[in-house]
């Protein structure tokens, strides 16, 4: 049932420009519930995806899926064509109206922010990952560590996003890690806003938590779940080595997520130590989380990985790194652990301790964090609007 709108201090007219959807439609829906008027321009076909709170003419899509299906989107000339093309398409339409806030995702904002915007709205840039220079540096380091040429931002995209950072009035980030990455690159603190994404629409299930706790205490092998695209950016190098060290009678590893061009050798080498399910959706994905005893996500660089948020929301004890949303969501020793990225030996020690100290892990499986209320979509939308209003 739709939630009745609340009365905002002053209703805002907000334009959102996003490649894909990310969390844009969830944010737009929550803002509309609170009485704001929101219009969305996206590269994602919107038929059937429009939230109930958005009118039929409030979401417009420019479909670029054909290029993505052909695997062309990552090639430098096509990358420039797509981002400039969508940016110009969205800019032309946004300039036809008057807005209080124009909220554009990084990579497609340059054409929108550089032209004339009637009424001089707040130009709010959304950066879903760390500062692109920090992201690129971390991924270059990881490539050398793995001996692979892993995917990372191109020269063209790096230069483009840095220009966007300079012309935006404010830069919105989703996690403490992402915020610190901008401060480390000398972006003034006053221009960086930590306005997180809401959590997935999942509910803590006490019966599932009790079942997990009892399963842990039973003494059977712990199921350690990794969920995400199979990318070295997500920590595959550490996952492979940790599974090789610990997989056996006490612990089984399960990796859920779509393969990628760089994951082929990883998949072949880990057939004996990791169960690979491929991508799962809907009830099958929920079942994978429900059957997990520990969620493990050794990410090298992420802004706000939804898989970690999903695990924490479902009450799965979570082990992740400080290079994502772990510091925001995890209460150390209560619902999980946050370790430095690439801390392979520490990951092994922590997971080994889980297998040895079952009572402590079982108590963690029953813990319900009050911190999660900060990530309700209506709370996040209220903070977003308050910040735009200068509160």
Rounded-to-integer distance, Cα 46 and Cα 362, Å: 43
Short-list 138, 174, 178, 131, CA closest to 300: 138
Looking at residue 13, its pLDDT comes to 96
- CA triple 1-201-335, angle to 5 deg: 140
Q: Give the predicted TM-score (pTM) of the model.
A: 0.90
What domains are defined for the chain?
13-198+376-388 (3.40.50.2000), 206-373 (3.40.50.2000)
Q: Tokens for 81, please give them.
A: 């064509």
With beta carbons less than 8 A apart as the criterion, state whether 36 and 60 touch: no
Looking at residue 62, its pLDDT comes to 63
Rounded-to-integer distance, Cα 216 and Cα 35, Å: 46
pLDDT tens across the length of the chain (391 residues):
333 444 456 899 999 999 988 889 999 999 999 999 999 999 876 554 544 455 555 667 665 544 444 444 455 678 888 899 999 999 999 999 999 999 999 999 999 999 889 999 999 999 999 999 999 999 999 999 999 988 899 999 999 999 999 999 999 999 999 999 999 999 999 999 999 999 876 667 889 999 999 999 999 999 999 999 999 999 999 999 999 999 999 999 999 999 999 999 999 999 999 999 999 999 999 999 999 999 999 999 999 999 999 999 999 999 999 999 999 999 999 999 999 999 999 999 999 999 999 999 999 999 988 788 888 999 999 999 999 998 5
Establish how many alpha carbons lie within 13 A of residue 386's alpha carbon, considering only the half-sphere containing its beta carbon: 9
Q: Which residues pair with 40 in a beta bridge?
A: 16, 59
Rounded-to-integer distance, Cα 369 and Cα 332, Å: 11
Looking at residue 6, its pLDDT comes to 47
């Amino acid at each position: 049932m739709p939630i009745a709108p609340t009365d905002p201090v002053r209703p805002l007219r907000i334009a959102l420009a996003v490649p894909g959807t990310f969390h844009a439609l969830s944010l737009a829906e929550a803002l509309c519930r609170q009485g704001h008027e929101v219009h969305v321009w996206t590269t994602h076909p919107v038929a059937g995806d429009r939230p109930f709170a958005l009118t039929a003419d409030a979401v417009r899509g420019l479909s670029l899926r054909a290029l993505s299906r052909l695997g062309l989107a990552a090639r430098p000339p096509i990358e420039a064509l797509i981002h400039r093309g969508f940016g110009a398409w969205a800019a032309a339409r946004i300039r036809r109206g008057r807005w209080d806030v124009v909220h554009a995702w990084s990579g497609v904002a340059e054409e929108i922010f550089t032209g004339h915007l009637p009424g001089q709205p707040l130009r709010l840039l959304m950066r879903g990952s760390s500062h692109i220079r920090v992201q690129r540096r971390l991924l270059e380091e990881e490539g050398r560590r793995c001996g692979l040429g892993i995917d990372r931002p191109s020269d063209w995209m790096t230069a483009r996003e840095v220009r966007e950072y300079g012309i935006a009035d404010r830069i919105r980030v989703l996690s403490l890690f992402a915020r610190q990455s901008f401060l480390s690159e000398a972006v003034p603190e006053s221009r960086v806003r930590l306005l997180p994404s809401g959590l997935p629409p999942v509910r803590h299930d006490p019966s599932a938590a009790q079942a997990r706790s009892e399963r842990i205490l039973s003494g059977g092998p712990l199921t350690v779940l990794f969920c995400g695209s199979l990318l070295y950016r997500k920590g595959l190098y550490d996952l492979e080595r940790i599974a090789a060290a610990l997989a056996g009678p006490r612990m089984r590893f399960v990796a859920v997520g779509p393969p990628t061009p760089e994951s082929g050798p990883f998949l072949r080498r880990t057939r004996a130590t990791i169960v690979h399910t491929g991508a799962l959706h809907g009830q099958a994905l929920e079942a994978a989380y429900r059957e997990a005893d520990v969620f493990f996500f050794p990410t090298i660089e992420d802004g706000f990985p939804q898989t970690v948020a999903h695990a924490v929301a479902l009450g799965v004890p979570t082990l992740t790194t400080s290079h994502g949303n772990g510091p925001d969501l995890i209460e150390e020793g209560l619902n999980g652990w946050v370790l430095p990225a690439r801390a392979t030996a520490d990951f092994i020690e922590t997971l080994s301790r889980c297998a040895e100290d079952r009572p402590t892990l079982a108590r963690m499986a029953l813990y319900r964090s009050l911190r999660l209320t900060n990530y309700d979509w209506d709370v996040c939308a209220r903070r977003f609007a308050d910040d735009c209003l200068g509160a």
